[in-house]
Every structure is written in structure tokens, then in C-alpha cells.
A and B are shown apart, each in its own frame.
Chain A
Amino acid sequence: MIVIVDYGMGNLKSVQNAFVKVGYKAIITEDLNQIKKASAVVLPGVGAFRDAINTLKKKKIDKELIEAVKINKPFLGICLGMQLLLTFSEEGGLYQGLNLIPGKAKRFHHSVKCPQMGWNTIKYVNHPSHDLNPIFKEVPDESYFYFVHSYYCVINDEQIISSVTDYGLVYSSSIWKNNLFGVQFHPEKSSTLGLKILKNFGELS
């Protein structure tokens, strides 16, 4: 069973609806035991970094998420859920994240409108040493996805960056390390190709 982590943020129902649409059962829960038992974990997110990480810590969900990644359980962070994987974020101050991926979240420059809101392309980053990110199976390079965010991820380890996107600057729009995946865009709101990504992730569960 896929578990969508409920920490009081954002539109969780849409993520669940999208998994149902592609044939996977997913539950929305904050229950630590359910997260422990999950075949895959999804950390969605809309909202402020500080509130999100505080809630995760208060409910002790943070340790469970770190454990899930440690035992190599399929794990997908969406939007803020991807940023939460990082060492820290500059949103509203300086706040520590889950520190699963060395890096930080920074605000877009004032020369572009903030938030970035709408459809943008992702360009695959080819690494000679490994294959295409498995959640992008049958998703053409430079496809459009729906983005809504004011902060972007700066990833220290270039090897784990699987795509980049251009919005005033070129930044990492997805990451992949073992069974840990992060996407800055919203697959659950990106029509057919977004659903394809969730299906690919579901297949790993």
C-alpha cells in the first residue's frame, strides 16, 4: 500500500485521486505504523517550509521518513516534499530539512515572477554511469509539467540530478538516488504524463 504522508499541508486528495486513476491504492495518513508498513511513501506538499518541517518533527514523522529512505523503500517527494529532503531551506529564514539529500532551497531571483506558476519543460540530465530515472519511463524528454513554487532546490551531488528546468536560471527539477525520488513539479496535476510518472512510481511499490 502506498502511503501519502498527511502533515496538514496542501492538496493531498489530488495525489490520492491520481494514484487511484492509475490503478494503485493509496492512503492519506499521519500514522507512524502505517508509514512503517507502507510499500512506498509519498511526501506531497504545498505551503511553507517551516510549518511543514515543524509538523513533521512534532508528530515524529521525520524519523519514520528517514528510516523509510534508509531501508530503501520507494519514496517520492513532490514540490515542497522534494525541498524537505534537503539539508536546509532559506524560506522565511534558515530552516533545517530532513537532510537526506545534501543541498538547499533558495528563492527565485526578483527578475522573474514569484511563484513560478504554470507549465514548464523538464530536460533530462544524462549520466553516462546510469540509466534514465525509472519514474520517467515512457515520458519523452522536454515534456511539460505543472509547477507552482517560489523556492528551488540546489543539489550538491550532480550525479543525482535527473532533470533541469529553466526559469530565470537552470535549476534541478527532479532527483533520483537509489529508491528516493524528488520532483519539483506536480505530477498529480500534470495530466496524462504526470499520471504516467505516478504509475511508474507505483510499479516500484
Chain B
Amino acid sequence: MLTKRIIPCLDINKGRVVKGIKFINLIDAGDPVELASFYEKEEADELVFLDITASWEKRNIIIELVKKTAEKVFIPFTVGGGIKNLEDIFHMLRAGADKVSINTMAVLNPRLIQEASLKFGSSTIVVAIDAVRRFSEWEVMINGGRTRTNLKVTDWAKKVEKLGAGEILLTSMDKDGTKEGYDIQLTRTVSENVNIPIIASGGAGEPKDLFEVLVAGKADAALAASIFHKKEYSISKVKAYLKQRGVKVNLRREKSDDREK
């Protein structure tokens, strides 16, 4: 049976990992390649790099980073942030990324999803959706959550599936950074409305949150940043917790990891 995926997310600025990383075993914890290798050993199922580099002239740094990562890391990884056109996607995939995630540009130019999935294959195209709750519905936000779109999340999710997206990375902006748990209702609603995999994101604070979003939320994968980066929980430990509760996970190391104690 297919297992549920646990995916750490690394925010990258000018080629460096940002957001309080607290690894002591790493030679250089700000080095994305080093951290990515570490997460592969920790049994991450995939990785997501989110490039938040604002300055345009520094953007080619991410390409170099993707190349280096692909040489050292042998699990799939997705790169997102600032992808504008087919050429950007081509360069990312050519450098060694397995998937590219598109957010704002997908809304501004939905044809990009269609063209990209035809050209590079659906499985390489992830559409990232940032959702904010409006009464009983959710609205799609773009430009890092600053701009409203008046698009309903479920409508948009169905549309991106139709256009050929292979997967949806669904972030609850209401929950992001709160550590109160994922938005279960949002995740479940979207997951039930499409037939492509959903990666839930935003709100992970403890292993129970991942369990809930994977089971009650019907997510196919759970993305988290700070609970892994800050070494509050190792990925293997979270997987062991999930396995104990009957969730199918790929856990090579059967015994829970005690190195953190």
C-alpha cells in the first residue's frame, strides 16, 4: 500500500536556509544541501525548497543549489517560489528538481499549468494554494498571502486538477505559524473534491497534528517546517508515532530514534 508522506520544508534566501534551525550535528546548518542530506537520513519522504529570495539578480543561486542537491540527495524534491514561466520550470527540472511548485503565476496565468503539465508531465507540476477562511468557505490568496483573488479554494483546486496539475500543496494561512494544528476541515474538503494528491501545510506543532491531518483531514502528505528544524521531533520519531496509530508510513528504522534525548 502507498504510504503517507512526511515532507520537511526549507525556506531558502540567497542560497541559505532561513528560519531558526537548531541542528548541532551539522557542520553548516544554513547549508541547504547539508540539511537536505540530513533529512534524507532521517527518513524524510520528500523535500520542498521554498525560495524566498526577493532580489531578482540573486535568483540564479537557487539553480546552483538545485544542482548540488541533486548530486547528493536521492529522494524527490520540489522547488517553489517565484516560478513565472515555462523557461523557469525547464531550468529547475534540468538542474535536477523533480517537481516545481507554482503559486501566484498559476492564478494569474492558468494556462501555464496546462502548458507545463503537457510539456513536462503532470507529475512534475505542483500547484501551491494559499487559503484563508471566509465564513464557511476559503479564499485563494496570492503574492505571499497579501493579495485577494475572490477565488474559492475548492473551485480553484478542481480547476488546477483539470488543467493538469499533478499535486496540490495546500497551505492554511490561518494556521501557518500557529503550531495549533493543520486546518483539518479545509484539507478534507479539498481532498474530497479532487482526485490528485494533497500535501497539507500550515500549523504543525506536534506529531498528533500530522496524524489528524493525514487521517481526519484525508491528506496524502504532511508538510512541516519548524517542528523538524528546531529538533523538537525527528522525522523518524513522528513516523514511528504515526505507525503505532495505524497510519501507513515508510519507516526503515523500526526503533524510535533516541539521539535527541
Are both chains from one complex? yes
Which residues of A are at the interface with B, using a C-beta cutoff of 8 A?
A: 9-11, 13-14, 17-18, 20-21, 46-48, 110, 113-121, 144, 146-150, 166-167, 186, 188-192, 194-195
B139 close to chain A: CB less than 8 A = no
User: How many whole Å from A112's CB to the nearest CB in chain B?
Assistant: 8
CB closest chain-A residue, reference B94: A13
In the complex formed, the residue of A with least CB distance to B120 is A47
Given contacts A11-B93, A113-B196, A117-B220, whether A148 and B123 have CB atoms under 8 Å apart is yes
Which B residues lie within 8 Å of A114 (CB)? Answer: 195-196
Chain B residues, Cβ within 8 Å of A166: 1
Q: Which residue of A lies closest to B97 (CB)?
A: A11
30 A-B pairs with C-beta separation under 8 A: A10-B93, A10-B120, A13-B67, A13-B70, A13-B94, A17-B70, A18-B74, A20-B71, A21-B74, A46-B121, A46-B123, A47-B121, A113-B197, A113-B220, A115-B196, A117-B123, A118-B45, A144-B3, A146-B75, A146-B76, A147-B2, A148-B166, A150-B122, A150-B123, A189-B74, A189-B75, A189-B76, A190-B74, A191-B40, A191-B74
Chain A residues whose C-beta falls within 8 Å of the C-beta of B31 in the assembled complex: none
CB distance from B117 to the nearest CB of A (A): 9
How many interface contacts (CB-CB < 8 Å) are there between A and B? 101
A14 CB to nearest chain B CB (Å): 6
Assess whether B197 is in contact with A194, with CB atoms less than 8 Å apart: no
Instruction: Identify which of residues 214-261 in chain B touch chain A, using a CB-to-CB cut-off of 8 Å.
Output: 220-221, 250, 252
Say how far A171's CB is from chain B's closest CB, in angstroms.
12
Query: What's the Cα separation between A21 and B95 when bound, in Å?
Result: 17
Distance between B43 CB and nearest chain A CB, rounded to angstroms: 8
Smallest CB separation, B187 vs chain A (Å): 14
Q: Which residue of B lies closest to A147 (CB)?
A: B2
With contact pairs A110-B195, A113-B197 given, residues A48 and B118 touching in the complex (Cβ less than 8 Å): yes
- CB contacts (< 8 Å) of B195 on chain A: these are 110, 113-114
Tell me the minimal C-beta distance from A123 to chain B in angstroms. Answer: 11
Say whether chain A's binding surface is mostly helix, strand, loop, or mixed: mixed
Kindly provide the distance from the CB of A36 to the nearest chain B CB, expressed in whole angstroms: 26
Contact partners of B118 in chain A: CB under 8 A: 48
**B-side contacts of A17, CB under 8 Å:** 70-71, 74, 96
Contacts of B220 in A (CB 8 A): 113, 117-118
> Any chain A CB within 8 A of the CB of B51?
no
Query: Which positions 1-35 of chain B face chain A at CB distance < 8 Å?
Result: 1-5
Measured between beta carbons, the chain A residues less than 8 angstroms from B197 are 113, 115, 117-118
- Complex Cα distance, B5 from A147, in Å, reads 12
When the two chains form their complex, are residues A167 and B2 in contact, meaning their CB atoms are under 8 A apart?
yes
The verdict on B124 contacting chain A, using a C-beta distance below 8 Å, is yes
Picked from B4, B94, B120, the residue with its CB within 8 Å of the CB of A46 is B120
How close is B249's CB to chain A, nearest CB, in angstroms?
8
For the complex formed, measure the closest distance between the CB of A160 and the CB atoms of chain B, giving whole angstroms: 24
Residues of B within 8 A of A194 (CB): 74
Q: Pick the residue among A11, A121, A167 that contacts B98 (CB under 8 A).
A: A11
CB-nearest residue of chain A to B122 = A115
